[in-house]
Each structure stands twice: as C-alpha cells, then as structure tokens.
Amino acid sequence: MIGIISYGIGNVASVANALGHAGVPCALVTEPAELKQYRKLLLPGVGAFGKAMERLRALGFAEAVSEAVLQRETPLLGICLGMQLLASRGYEFGETEGLGLIDGSVRRLDTRGESLRLPHIGWNDLTPAGDSPLLAGLPEDATCYFAHSYVFEPADPGAVQGVTEYGGPQVAVVAKGCVYGTQFHPEKSQESGLQILKNFGAL
C-alpha cells in the first residue's frame, strides 16, 4: 500500500485516482505517525518550495519522511514540487532548506540562451539516462506532462535517471537509493505516467 502524503499542497485526489487506474492500492496519510504503516510513500506538491517545506515541517512530516527513508529504507517517490523538495536546498524566493534526501539544489530553469517561454508547460520527451526500474517498459518516444519553472540539479550526476529537452537537457527523473523523483506529473501523463506509477508500485 502506498501512502500519499497529504499536507494541504498539491492535488492528492488526482494522484490517488491515477494510482487507482494503475491498479496500485493507496491511501492518503494525514498524520506523520501513520507513515510507518505504508510500504512505500509518495510526496506530491505544486507551488512554492518555501511554503511547502514550511508546511511539511509544521505538520511533522519532514522529520517523519526523513526517518522513513533513512531508517526504514521506505521507497519514496516525489512528484513535481515533491521531487524538488527532496533536494538539499531551493532558491525560489531566497534560500530554503529542503528535505536533503538527494544532494543538490533547485534553481530556476535555465533555457541556455534559447528564448523559450517559462513556465515550461506541456508534453515533452522523457529520455531515460540510466536503467532505473522506475522507467521500465516505456516506449522510446514517451512524452510526459511538465508544468514548472524550477529544476532540481542533483550534486551527483548519477542521480539523474531521466531527462527532457528544453533549452538543452533538463532533469526529469532522479533516483538515489530508495528515493525517486519525477519533475513531470505521472498522474497527468496518460499511459506513460500510469506505467511509471505501476513501476513504483512494483518496486
């Protein structure tokens, strides 16, 4: 059973719906103490890094999630802002400390001189950059739905397991140990997204 962390930020209903469509049992978790009941965890999120971290800390989830990952090796999937929160720090409005589960920083997407619009919104290629089981079974021309202006840059390039192309390669999937993250929304990415959610459920 996957526990979807419900902390008032992000569209948990959509995530739960999608997991349902993918045949993966899940439930919303509103109390940090309940996290240990779940074999895997999912951290959704949209909006501002600082606000989300504040909420996670205030509710006690920041500590409980770190404990689940570091002490019990509970697989954790962060989606969109949820992936960015895994970082050591974010630079959205000043510097904010993240969960620090994957070393690296969250910065504004750099389109490297190409005059591309931000936020990066729409369907874009997902190109695997490693052999993470999270991306198993995806077609070569898989596209997923992105909606963001900030990107997570892991300190260890080996943590990047998938990229997309928007002013050069941009991080789309990260993985380190039992911690995974997708910048795009698998719950909104139709069959590619469902496959990824199924894969996470099968880990």
Partner 1 sequence: MVRTRVIPVLFLMNGSIVRSETFSQYKIIGNPYSELARYSEWRADELVYVDITRDTFTSGHRTDHKVKVDSTLIGILREIAKHALMPLTFGGRIFTLEQADEIIENGADKVLINTGAYRNPQLVTDLAETHGSQATVVGIDIWRDDGRLQMKIDQGRHPVDDDPVAYAKRMESLGAGELLVNSIDRDGTGAGYDLDAIAAIAGATTIPVVACGGCGTLEHFAKPVQAGASAVAAGNIFHFTENAYPRAKRALRRKEVNVR
Contacting residues toward partner 1, per CB under 8 A:
11, 13-14, 17-18, 21, 46-48, 51, 81, 115-125, 143, 145-149, 165-166, 185, 187-190, 193-194
Q: Name the helix (H) or strand (E) containing 51.
A: helix 49-59
34 φ, ψ (degrees, to nearest 5): -80, -10
Closest approach of partner 1 to the CB of residue 12, in Å: 9
Report how far residue 3's alpha carbon sits from residue 65's, in angstroms, rounded to the nearest whole number: 11
- Report the nearest approach of partner 1 to the CB of residue 146 (Å): 7
Nearer to partner 1, 166 or 200 (CB): 166
Question: How many CA atoms are closer than 13 Å to the CA of 177, on its beta-carbon side?
Answer: 13
Q: Which is nearer to partner 1, 11 or 88 (CB)?
A: 11
Q: Where in the sequence numbering do the catalytic residues fall?
A: 80, 185, 187
Q: Please name the residues in contact with 47: beta carbons below 8 A apart, sequence gap of 6 or more.
A: 9, 10, 81
CB of 177 vs partner 1, minimal distance in Å: 28
- With respect to partner 1, which residue has the nearer C-beta, 66 or 143? 143
Read out DSSP for 91-128?
-SSS-EE---SS-EEEEE---TT----SSEEEEEE-EE
C-beta closer to partner 1: residue 74 or 124:
124
In whole angstroms, the minimum distance from the beta carbon of 155 to partner 1 comes to: 25
SS3 137: coil
- Work out how close the CB of 18 gets to partner 1 at its nearest, in angstroms, rounded to a whole number: 6
Using alpha carbons, select from 186, 56, 168, 181 the residue that is nearest to residue 106: 181
- Report the alpha-carbon distance of residue 63 to residue 32 in Å, rounded: 8
For partner 1, the closer CB: 119 or 177: 119
